[in-house]
Homo-oligomer: A and B are copies of this chain.
Amino acid sequence: MTYVETLGANAKAALRSIMTAGTMKKNNALNAIADKLIERTDEIIAANKKDLDAAAANGMPVTMQDRLKLDADRIKGIADGVRTVVQAADPVGAVDSGMVRPNGMKIYKTRVPLGVIGMIFESRPNVTVDAAVLCLKSGNTVILKGGKEAINSNKCLCDIMRDAVETAGLEKNVVQLIEDTSREAANELMRLNQYLDVLIPRGGRGLIKAIVENATVPVIETGTGNCHAYIDDSADIDMAVDIVDNGKTQRPSVCNALESLLVHKDIASKVLPVLKERLDKHNVEIRGCKRTKEILGDCVVDATDEDYATEFLDYIISVKVVDSIEEAIEHIGKYSTGHSEVIITNSFKNAEKFQHEVDSAAVYVNVSTRFTDGGEFGLGAEIGISTQRLHARGPMGLNELTTVKYLISGNGQIR
C-alpha cells in the first residue's frame, strides 16, 4: 500500500466513528479544536514562521506572503470560525420526505454523510481548518492536501485538530493531512476511487482544470466566475450604475465579482458615461467593443474574444453594447462559466426571460452578483461555490456535504 492509499484506508476505517456520532459529540470535537487552536497559538506561529522564512527566501511576492501569515489575531479568527460551525444546524438525520406506500411499508428519505472527502487547496492555511470542520460537522472524514508553501503550518494545524477530536472521543483519523506535497501524491488522491467518495478542489482555474482532467473520483468543481451584468433598455440608470460598480469594485478578487457588462444599445449612451465616472474612482480599466469606444472615447481598450472569456479578478471590466436581450443571453451562453449573472431592468417580461433562459447557478434581477455566497443565501457556513451541475450547484453549505439514505420499515411485505 502506498502512503496515500494508507491515508485512504485510515479515513474509511475511521468513518463509522464519526458517521454514527451524534451532533453533541461532533460539536464537542469542534469546540475542542477551537480551544486547542487558542491554547497552542505559539506553536502555530512558530510552525508558520518556517513557512514564511522559506517563502521570503524563495522570493514569494509580499501580498502572497501576507496571505500565508498567521498571527494571534488570525488564529483567533480561525477559532471563532470553528465556533460558528458549532452553532450551525447538523444536516445529518434530517428527513427530506416520507410516506406510507399502499402496501403499508413506510419510507423515509433521510440525510447521511457523504463519506470520505478529499480537499485539495492552495496556499492560505486557514482553509485547512475551515474545510476540515465543515466536513466533520456533517459527519464525514477528510483527507486534506494543501500547498507546499504552507506545509509546516498545515502539519501543525492538523496535529492540533487530530489531538482535539481524540479528546472528544472520535478517532484521530477522521482528519488527515497528506504531508507529501508532490504532484504525484495529488494525482494519486484524484484516482483513489477505492476510498474517496468525493474530491473538492478549492483554488484557481489551473488547479481545478488539472483535477477535472485527471480525476477518476467524483469531483465537485468550485469557483471560477466570469459573471455578467446586462443593462436592459428599461433599466433605472442609478440602480444599474450601483449594481455594476458594486459587482466590479467592492471586492474584485472573488468569484462572484462582475467581469463583463452588456448594455442595450438604446440606453448605452445614457448609462455608460455615468458608469465610467463611477468606475474611474477605482481606476477600472474598460475593455470595450467599437460602440463602447464611440460613446466613451479612446480611454477604452479594444476588447478581444479572450477578454470576454476572462475572469479578471482585478479592476478590469469587459463591455459590449448589444442590440437586444436575445443577443445578451446568447453572449452569456457563449462566455459565462455558469456562476452568477444579473439583468437590470424594469420590464417584467425581460426579467422573466432572462431568468428562464440564462443557465447559470444564480440568476439575478436588480441585485448585485456579489450576493452569491452561502452566508448571504442563509445557508450558514460555506464550503465553496459549485459551478458544476451534478450534486450541488451554487453556494454549498453543510447540507451539500451529505447524501441520502432510504429507511424502510414494515411487517413482512414481499413482492
Residues of chain A at the chain B interface (Cβ within 8 Å): 16, 19-20, 99, 101, 105, 107, 112, 114-115, 193, 197-198, 212-216, 218-220, 236, 239, 242-243, 246, 250, 333, 351, 355-357, 359-368, 370-372, 376-378, 388-391, 393-394, 403-415
**With A408-B365, A408-B371 known to touch, is A388 a contact of B218 (CB < 8 Å)?**
yes
Residue of chain B at shortest CB distance from A363 = B407
| Cβ-defined contact, B242 with A359, below 8 A | no
A394 and B390 in contact (CB under 8 A), knowing A20-B357, A246-B415, A409-B364?
no
17 contacts between A and B (CB under 8 A): A105-B367, A197-B390, A215-B216, A243-B414, A250-B414, A355-B407, A355-B409, A362-B405, A363-B406, A364-B410, A367-B410, A367-B413, A367-B414, A370-B414, A371-B415, A393-B403, A393-B404
> Taking the nearest CB of chain B, how far is it from the CB of A96, in angstroms?
10
Please give 18 more A-B residue pairs, beta carbons under 8 A apart, in addition to A16-B333, A114-B389, A366-B409. A16-B357, A114-B390, A115-B359, A213-B216, A218-B219, A239-B411, A250-B415, A361-B406, A364-B409, A367-B413, A370-B414, A370-B415, A371-B408, A371-B413, A372-B406, A377-B406, A393-B403, A394-B404
Q: How far is the CA of A80 from the CA of B357 in the complex (A)?
A: 32
- CB–CB A359/B19 < 8 A: yes
- Residues in B with CB closer than 8 Å to A377 are 101, 107, 406
Contact at B193–A363, with CB atoms within 8 Å? no
Copies in the complex: 2
Q: How far is the CA of A362 from the CA of B109 in the complex (A)?
A: 9
Does A408 lie within 8 Å of B218, measured CB to CB? no
Scoring A213, A236, A250, A409 by chain B CB atoms within 10 A of each residue's CB, the highest score goes to A409
Q: Would you call A390 and B390 a contact (CB within 8 A)?
A: yes
A108 to B218, CA, bound (A): 27
Q: Which residues of B contact A404 (CB under 8 A)?
A: 361, 393-394
Known pairs A391-B390, A404-B394; A243 contacts B360 (CB<8 A): no
**List of B residues within 8 angstroms of A394 by Cβ:** 404-406
Contact B405 A360 (CB under 8 A): yes
Which B residues are in CB contact (< 8 Å) with A365? Answer: 408-410
CA distance A330 to B263 in the complex (A): 62
In the bound complex, do residue A242 and residue B412 qualify as a contact, i.e. CB atoms below 8 Å apart? Answer: yes
In this complex, the member of A107, A214, A372 whose beta carbon has the largest number of chain B beta carbons within 10 angstroms is: A107
A412-B243 in contact (CB<8A): yes
Nearest Cβ on chain B to A388's Cβ, whole angstroms: 7
Q: Is the beta-carbon distance between A367 and B408 smaller than 8 angstroms?
A: yes
Chain B residues with CB under 8 A of A215: 216
B405 touches A363 (CB 8 A): yes
